[in-house]
Structure 1
Amino acid sequence: MDSSMAVPMPSTMYESFSPFLQLPFYQQISTYQPDTTVTVRISDSRKRFRDSTTESNALHLPQKIKLSNQSKILDQDILLLYNSQQSEINCLIEQHTENLRTAIENQRMKQKRMLEFVIHESMVKKLKQKDEEIEDLGKLQLMLQERVKTLIMENQIWREMAMTNETAVNTLRIELEKVMQVSEIHQLHHRNGCEDAEDAESSCRSNCHVEVEEEVAGKWMCKQCGVNRSEVLLLPCRHLCLCTICGSSIFNCPLCCSAVNASVQVNFC
Structure 2
Amino acid sequence: MIRPNKRGRETEDIQRQQKLQISLNYNMCQEEADRSASIPNPNAVSTGLRLSYDDDERNSSVTSASGSMTQGQSMILSLGDNIRSELDRQKEEFDQYIKIQEEHLTKGIRDMKQRHMASFLSAIEKGVSKKLREKDMELESMNRKNKELVERIKQVAAEAQNWHYRAKYNESVVNVLKSNLQQAISQGAEQGKEGFGDSEVDDAASYIDPNNFLSIPVGGSKSVSKNHQGMKEQMICRACKAKEVSILLMPCRHLCLCKDCDVFIKVCPVCQVMKTGGVPVYLS
TM range (shorter): 0.5 to 0.7
Aligned position for 1:96? 104
For 1:61, the equivalent position in structure 2 comes to 69
In the superposition, relative to structure 1, how do residues 180 and 53 fare at CA in structure 2: closer, same or farther (>3 Å)?
farther
- Find the partner of 1:159 among 167, 182, 196: 167
Q: Is the 8 A contact 1:221 1:230 kept in 2?
A: yes
CA distance in 1, matches of 2:139, 2:273: 52
1:235 aligns to what?
Answer: 250
Task: Give the 3-state SS of the residue equivalent to 1:233 in structure 2.
Answer: strand
The answer to whether the 8 A contact 1:168-1:233 is kept is: no
1:257 to 260, 268, 272: 272
- Could you tell me how far 1:249 is from its partner in structure 2? 1.3
1:244 maps to a residue whose letter is K
- How far apart are 1:167 and its partner, in Å? 1.6
Equivalent in the alignment of 2:50? none
CA distance in 1, matches of 2:184, 2:60: 178
CA contact (8 A) 1:230 1:243 kept: yes
Number of residue pairs aligned between Structure 1 and Structure 2: 202
Deviations 1:123-152 (A, max 9, x none): 563465356435534643553355245324
Tell me which amino acid in the other structure corresponds to 2:95: S
CA distance in 2, matches of 1:87, 1:111: 36
Q: What letter is aligned with 1:92?
A: I
| 2:54 paired residue number | none
Deviation string for 1:196-215 (max 9, x for gaps)?
A: xxxxxxxxxxx64x455324
- 1:244 counterpart SS class: coil
CA distance in 2, matches of 1:141, 1:252: 43
Larger radius of gyration: 1
* Counterpart Cα distance in 1 of 2:174 and 2:35: 166
SS of match in other structure, 2:174: helix
Structure 1's 54 and 268: CA in aligned 2 closer, same or farther, altered over 3 A? farther
1:99, distance to aligned residue in structure 2 (A): 2.4
The 5 A counterparts of 1:167-182 are 167-178=175-186, 181=189
Which residue is equivalent to 1:216? 231
CA contact (8 A) 1:233 1:240 kept: yes
Opposite residue 175 of structure 2, the aligned amino acid is T
* Aligned-partner Cα distance in 1 for 2:179–2:230: 17
Q: Please name the residue that 1:7 is paired with.
A: none
Report the CA distance between 1:102 and its aligned residue: 3.5
Q: Which amino acid aligns with 1:66?
A: S
Contact 1:164 1:235 in 2 (8 A): no
Question: Do structure 1's residue 125 and structure 2's residue 133 form an aligned pair?
Answer: yes
> What RMSD over aligned residues (CA atoms) do the two structures have, in Å?
3.8
AA in 2 matched with 1:253: C
Structure 2 partner of 1:80: 88
Q: Match for 1:79: what amino acid?
A: L
State TM-score, norm by structure 2: 0.56
Residues 164 and 236 in structure 1, CA contact (< 8 A), matched pair in contact too? no
SS in 2 for 1:77: helix
Q: CA contact under 8 A between 1:221 and 1:227: conserved in structure 2?
A: yes
For the structure 1 residues 150 and 252, does the alpha-carbon distance in structure 2 shift closer, same or farther, using more than 3 Å as the test? farther
Percent identity, aligned pairs only, is 16
Q: Distance in 1 between matches of 2:62 and 2:174?
A: 161
Q: What TM-score results when the alignment is normalised by the length of structure 1?
A: 0.59
3-state DSSP class of the match of 2:260?
Answer: helix
Distance (Å, rounded) in 1 between the aligned partners of 2:113 and 2:141: 41
| Equivalent-residue separation in structure 2 for 1:15 and 1:137 (angstroms) | 121
Q: Deviations over 1:27-55 (max 9, x none)?
A: xxxxxxxxxxxxxxxxxxxxxxx999977
Equivalent pair of 1:230/1:242 in contact (CA under 8 Å)? yes
Task: Select the residue among 81, 99, 110 that pairs with 2:118.
Answer: 110
Q: Do the aligned partners of residues 60 and 233 (structure 1) sit closer, same or farther apart at CA in structure 2, a change above 3 Å counting?
A: same
AA in 1 matched with 2:236: M
For 1:225, the equivalent position in structure 2 comes to 240
